[in-house]
Amino acid sequence: MKNKDVRTRQKAQNNPRRAAAEDDVLVKYHKCLVNVLPVPILIFSPDGTISQASQSADSLFGYNQGELIGTSLFALIADSGAKRLAQSLGGHVSKGHGHVLLHGQAISGQRRDGRTFPAELTISEAQQACTLGFVGVFQEMTQIFEARNALNHNQERFALAMAGTNEGLWDWDVASGKVYYSNRVSALFGLDEDFGPPDDWLNRVHPDDRERYRRSLIQHLKGETPFFSIDYRLNGPGNHWVRHRGLGLRDGQGHVFRMAGSVGDITLAKLAETKLRESLAQAEAANKAKSDFMASMSHELRTPLNAIIGFSEMIHGQLLGPVGQPKYIEYANDIVSSARHLLDIITDILEMARLEAGHAEFHPEPLDMGAVIDATFRLLHQRVSHSGLSITAKMAPNLPPVLGDERRLKQVMINLVGNAIKFTPKGGQIIVEAKPVLSGHLMVRVIDSGVGIAERDIPRAMAPFTQVDSVVARRYQGSGLGLPLAKAFVELHGGNLELSSLLGKGTTVTFHLPLHFPS
């Protein structure tokens, strides 16, 4: 090759006109080639003078077409890169056409407006007949660097996220049986480089959990589950638990060809779950024991109270003769009132305890709800009169019978109407409505014009042992069980109870009971 180049130069020296013609042809060829190629290309002499430039090079450096010709290559390279390149070109000795002087050299390009950008430069010889020239190919690296930085940033973010979740990654090539796993998985399972196909993984699962693990995996491979997720213990000391999750990629026939996912240590979560379950069981057992105890206290609590009430009534009525002091009669009356109030509270508490313990007595039979409402009015007539209220019943004619326990439904009405009396100021009004509705139920509604309840406090009013005004002041006596007991008794009949209220406007309690039509 060297001999041929030497002969070519010798011929050019012997025939200058022919050499000039050949140079002219090469220049035209290079110019045509440079303009066709869609990459930034410059052709320049050893001193850096540009003789040809592609349109992409003009655009890259911010020049109009043709403006780069005659300028210096070194003006397009920022910092000390231009000086180093000039020294390389100046000291270059031709080694033959096409010899690569630089390949992918990192430089800092400089645009016409002074802005710089990262680039790579490749320079090769462009040996003409009489002249040594060079071809420079530029590649702007801005987008590539940005993509690399974004990729590195995402990789760092992903690695940080995985480290934060304490999860390891795995990737299973189903066709080859090879499994990739991250360092976290290796540490968790105690794996080594010889860790092989999924069967080896199965050996790391606790024997008691293997069948469940295998069944869950097969279900996902068959497409029976959208995701693979299972908690199991590791085979070995320590009783370690892991959560194993994954997703299979399927081909056109629905077969899984690749599966990937994560594995995380959930030992602490499982221990907390076990303790929570034990605590819940203990709490339920204690609550049941409390309810059973309260349910069994009916006789022990009511017997002495009934005796107190009975003897107090005898003294108040002077059944065995005059007491002598009128004040004693007044005291006896106070004892009767207080004892009856205490008996009502104890009765409510015992009823709630029976309900919670599942010991509530329930004897349903066809009954007339209108008669239950009338009986309630008679029982509460004296309280209504003393309160200065008006109470009205609006019942549809010929009310159909309901299947219910008369004693329980009477207690529901006493609780609801009693609450209405308690929370309605003097001069207020109470209305009780009863009528069948299209849903096949009997609707009963108790409406009062009392103090009402704020919407946010309604859930508290329906909770046992709670009074809405208990935070501010105990203005009203009671156990706070009236509404909860009424709701529980209605639900015992297969019905439902709802409360609506406006603060300062009044309250409406509505319940529905299934109708019973005797055959």
Number of domains in the chain: 4
In a domain, 397, yes or no: yes
In a domain, 383, yes or no: yes
Q: Give the domain range for residue 58.
A: 2-145
Which regions in the chain score pLDDT beneath 70?
1-37, 91, 93-98, 127-131, 155, 158-166, 190-200, 290-302, 356-359, 465-480, 516-519
Give tens-digit pLDDT for 84-101: 888 777 767 655 555 777
Chain centroid offset of residue 177 CA: 35
CATH number (domain holding residue 56): 3.30.450.20
State residue 31's pLDDT score: 58
What residues does 119 pair with on adjacent strands? 107, 140
Question: pTM of the prediction?
Answer: 0.44
Q: Taking Cα atoms as reference points, which of 55, 46, 56 lies closest to residue 85?
A: 46
In a domain, 387, yes or no: yes
In a domain, 116, yes or no: yes
In single-letter form, the type of residue at position 233 comes to R
In a domain, 156, yes or no: no
State residue 6's pLDDT score: 45
What residues does 444 pair with on adjacent strands? 434, 511
Asked if residue 301 and residue 244 are part of one domain, the reply reads: no
In single-letter form, the type of residue at position 479 comes to S
Asked if residue 369 and residue 340 are part of one domain, the reply reads: no
What residues does 391 pair with on adjacent strands? 430
In a domain, 159, yes or no: no
Asked if residue 393 and residue 341 are part of one domain, the reply reads: no
Asked if residue 481 and residue 380 are part of one domain, the reply reads: yes
In a domain, 385, yes or no: yes
Asked if residue 384 and residue 318 are part of one domain, the reply reads: no
Asked if residue 175 and residue 223 are part of one domain, the reply reads: yes
Q: How far apart are CA 201 and CA 243, in angstroms?
A: 14
Asked if residue 258 and residue 386 are part of one domain, the reply reads: no
Asked if residue 302 and residue 186 are part of one domain, the reply reads: no
Asked if residue 456 and residue 392 are part of one domain, the reply reads: yes
State residue 197's pLDDT score: 57
Give the number of other CB atoms < 10 A from CB of residue 441: 17
Look at residues 250, 265, 280 and tell me which one is the last residue of a structural domain.
265
